[in-house]
Structure 1
Amino acid sequence: MSWRPKPATRLGGARSRAGHADRSYGHDLCDALIAGAVGTETLNVATYLDMAVRGRPSSSAPEESVRKITGVLHLRLGPEDRAANRRSALGALLGYGVGVSVPVVLTLLVGPRRVPLPVAAGLLGAGTMLATDAGLAALRVSDPRSWSGADWLSDAVPHLAYGFAAALTLRRLGLIRRIWT
């Protein structure tokens, strides 16, 4: 009888019949990042559709968040004409950062548990909405407690679309079959 090392434990705990790990942490985290990017683009499309249908302006919250963050950190973004453009770009990047990080965090938190697709979509959408809205509240850019029902709905629908797009992407990439189903 020869000695063989035990297979490494990894995210999701998926193993082949021989007991070897099927994938690595890196694959799972990469899948989560991809799902976050797909979800973020879906959220953006849903938001722009809402703006087109209702004729509403874009939100100033991302730029205002960057203004508050740079103010706290005492960072100058250059002359005001360029600073405004930089705030706009950094606000969008802030949104992308939240969007790609939420599936990674939830994948790490869920571990090997199996979660049905609708629940996964709800967790991903609610997690992203919570991260975004908590950030707005913490920076005092907006107070979600004062939002109307229509405000909440216009915030929830794109985040729910995000959740389903991210969950379906995880399913397609294979991670959701092991963890999120």
Structure 2
Amino acid sequence: MRAHAFAALFLAITGLAAAIDHPDIQTLLWPTGSAFVVGLLYIAEGGARRNPLHYGLGTWLALTSTAALLLGIHTHNGLRTIDSRYVELAETLGLSRPRFLLHIVLPGALPGFLLGMRFAVTTAWLALAVVEQVNATSGIGYMMGLARTYGQTDIIIVGLVVYGLLGLLSDALVRLVEREALSWRRTLAD
């Protein structure tokens, strides 16, 4: 598990995962969601007992890295799928670099970025649930862990429902932003 976590971090930081578009390499990025989060907690919180300045670094690292990986992958995919006709049109019109970025690259990458944001938000909620059960002294996950210890299944179910509702609310918020930001784009759903 530690090898997968280190491989995923190395590939994400160096950008090699995007350059190597092979399914086996892409699967290294996500060994399993919870194993990846626990691996990051293990790496970052290793010295937490000895050094109180590191407290909370693992939680922050686990949540932001899961979100950043998804945002990076989907934004990169959005950039790769920009229609080459638009690039040729920009060259023909002689668009400056800032106008090219504003009028071609940003609208082309925005759908992928927002899709990545939806995945990142829901994955961050899952990561938070894992982090709170493994490494917290308060929160919904901690409460669910205590309820599991004492056999209180009703509290566990309430915790799961709360996590589900928070995930649905977050996803609806990102979908609202997506609908407003991409109002110019026509899809089959329109």
Q: TM-score, normalised by structure 1?
A: 0.34
Greater relative CO, 1 or 2 (CA 8 Å, sep 6+):
1
Q: TM-score, normalised by structure 2?
A: 0.33
When you count helix as a share of all residues, which structure comes out higher? 2
